[in-house]
Amino acid sequence: MRLLLRALVAIAVALTTFTPLTASADEAAALATDKEIKALYETFTAAWNRHDTEALGKMWIAEGDHLEPDGRGVRGRESVAYLLKEQHATVFKKTSLKLAIDSVWLVTPDVALADGTYEISGIVGPDGSAIPQRTGHLTSILVRKEGKWGIAGSRLMIPTPLPYKKS
């Protein structure tokens, strides 16, 4: 009986000792992921401001997609890169981007959801007229493949007042 009691106490001590280690390991992984994804978007912003659409396109996974605030969507890394190249040759040719990732949720060890805000200035219309700064929200799903994070899905949104809500 005493041997059984000692064994149970030993198991209880072991479980309470290792549970916090697992939690702190999970927290450390989430913190590392947060830093990696924020660094990816810092690289994204720098590439945008250089108008390096090739570098921007490479940030998507092969089957990734992108949805613009007006509802235009493209699927596949090459289609995303083409859209960005088309935009940066025209309306975004002289733009400057500021982007901040506000939160990263590690859904699984290799899938994350990132939310942030962005401001783009220097947009011009097709006729060359200046368009006011665009401020919006972004949500991205990212996937880690072979140790590297890539954008699987990107959604941009420009907030607009809703007629059924009071300010």
pLDDT tens-digit profile of 114-163?
A: 999 999 999 999 999 999 999 999 999 999 999 999 999 999 999 988 88
Is residue 9 pLDDT above 70, yes or no?
Answer: no
Q: Which residue did the predictor score with more confidence, 25 or 59?
A: 59
Give the count of beta carbons closer than 10 Å to the beta carbon of residue 140: 25
Percent of the residues in the chain that have a pLDDT greater than 90, as a whole number: 74
User: The pTM is what?
Assistant: 0.81
Residue 77's pLDDT is: 97
Residue 2's pLDDT is: 61
The pLDDT-based confidence of 8 (bands split at 50, 70, 90) is very low
Residue 32's pLDDT is: 82
Percent of the residues in the chain that have a pLDDT greater than 70, as a whole number: 85
Burial 69-95 (b: 16+ CB within 10 A, else e): eeeeebebbebbbebbeebbeebbeeb
DSSP characters over 16-80: HHHHHHHHHHHHHHHHHHHHHHHHHHHHHHHHHHHT-HHHHHTTEEEEEEEE-TTS-EEESHHHH
The pLDDT-based confidence of 24 (bands split at 50, 70, 90) is confident
Residue 99's pLDDT is: 98
Q: Which residue did the predictor score with more confidence, 157 or 22?
A: 157
Would you list the domain boundaries of the chain?
A: 2-157
Q: What is the DSSP letter of 96?
A: E
Find the mean pLDDT for residues 75-89: 97
CATH architecture for the domain at 2-157:
Roll (3.10)
| Tokens coding 163 | 């007629």
